[in-house]
Structure 1
Amino acid sequence: MRLRVAGIIEESVVDGPGLRLVVFVQGCPHRCPGCHNPHTWDPAGGTLMEVEEILAMVKRNPLLKGVTLSGGEPFAQAGALAVLARQVRALGRDVITYTGYTWEKLLELAGRDGAVKELVELSDYIVDGPFIQEKRDPELPFRGSSNQRVIDVPASLACGRVVIAPWGGQ
């Protein structure tokens, strides 16, 4: 299974708690003004990589707490990222997924697209919502604008409402 990738950071402490491998996927329909990664917008850009190549990077570093899926828009490549997320979780690592979609829109999409549903369910945390330049706040942990939420996915799915992660700083 292949992904179109804009880049990978093998060790990051700014894209979620703990030491993380970050996959920046290529392609984004949101095109938020002031986006930190506008080079990821073109769905034909970046490089094709095998999911196994990325998983090998994760396996090489026993210090990783988990993997962060960012972009671009990860849910535009939900099928391949669900394969990666399943394997990352099998290694005992967690998965954080950033998205320009709101939680409510993701649930709507998941109702129509099994790959989106699977990636939602395999994500431990989702940082949702578009970046809004007018709401930019560099003091917020792990997100760029105050409209974005750090959602505890299992807790939210279990109770049927958004549950904010304790480290999300809302």
Structure 2
Amino acid sequence: MEIRIAGLAEESIVDGPGFRFTVFTQGCPHHCKGCQNPQTHDFEGGMIDDTDRIFDMIIKDPLLDGVTFSGGEPFCQCSALLSLAEKIRGFKERRLNIISYTGYTFEQLIERGKTEPDCKALLEKLDYLVDGRFEEEKRSLELKFRGSSNQRFIDVQRSLKEGKAVEVNDSLL
């Protein structure tokens, strides 16, 4: 399936815990002041890639702990990322966790999922979610894997079971 990306980071240690493969999606409606990836905002920018090709790159790296969807705004390309997440979940040789960053809140995604099946299905495939828009006035370099203090690092599977956002304690990251 086609996906519009800004780029790929094949070996990242800053986009979540462990050794990660990061997909930077292209296109973002949030335009957060101070965004670290403003080049990803234009929905017509970046390049078209293929989720099968990206998956092949991911499974060739035996050192990876997981995959991160970043942006841009990953939840503007739910169908393509769902396709990739399903491939990752179907890869039985090893378990790779999946994290997504989003400018939406967990609660907003739950609401969107009521009318957008791919949004709901993508959320259900995630292990963790870093939610909320970047707020420059709340920026902190001391936060693990987040840019501003309003953003949450959420255990998605536990949150879905409990019906509310459950944050991961920073000491566990």
What TM-score bracket applies, with the shorter chain setting the length?
over 0.9
AA aligned to 1:79 is S
**1:169: Cα distance to partner?**
7.1
In the TM superposition, 1:62-77 aligns within 5 A as 62-77=62-77
Matched-pair contact (CA < 8 Å) for 1:141–1:168: no
Q: Distance in 2 between matches of 1:169 and 1:150?
A: 11
Q: Secondary structure at the match of 1:112?
A: coil
Q: Distance in 2 between matches of 1:143 and 1:86?
A: 25
Residue matched to 2:46: 46
The number of aligned residues is 170
Residue matched to 1:160: 163
Q: Distance in 2 between matches of 1:88 and 1:150?
A: 21
In the TM superposition, 1:19-168 aligns within 5 A as 19-91=19-91, 92-167=95-170
Q: Which runs of 5+ in 1 are unaligned?
A: none
Matched-pair contact (CA < 8 Å) for 1:19–1:65: yes
Alignment CA distance shift 1:23-1:168 (3 Å) = farther
Q: Distance in 1 between matches of 2:83 and 2:29?
A: 22
**1:165: Cα distance to partner?**
1.8
Q: Distance in 2 between matches of 1:98 and 1:4?
A: 16
**1:41: Cα distance to partner?**
0.3
**1:59: Cα distance to partner?**
1.0
CA RMSD of aligned residues (A): 1.3
Residue matched to 1:10: 10
Q: Secondary structure at the match of 2:114?
A: helix
Q: Distance in 2 between matches of 1:38 and 1:169?
A: 30
Matched-pair contact (CA < 8 Å) for 1:141–1:169: no
**1:106: Cα distance to partner?**
0.7
In the superposition, the TM-score normalised over structure 2's length comes to 0.95
Matched-pair contact (CA < 8 Å) for 1:109–1:116: yes
Residue deviations 1:13-45 (CA, integer Å, cap 9, x gap): 111111000000000000000000000000010
Q: Distance in 2 between matches of 1:114 and 1:47?
A: 26
**1:166: Cα distance to partner?**
3.5
Q: Secondary structure at the match of 1:4?
A: strand
Residue deviations 1:40-92 (CA, integer Å, cap 9, x gap): 00001001001011101111101101100000000000001001011112222
AA aligned to 2:118 is A
Alignment CA distance shift 1:156-1:68 (3 Å) = same
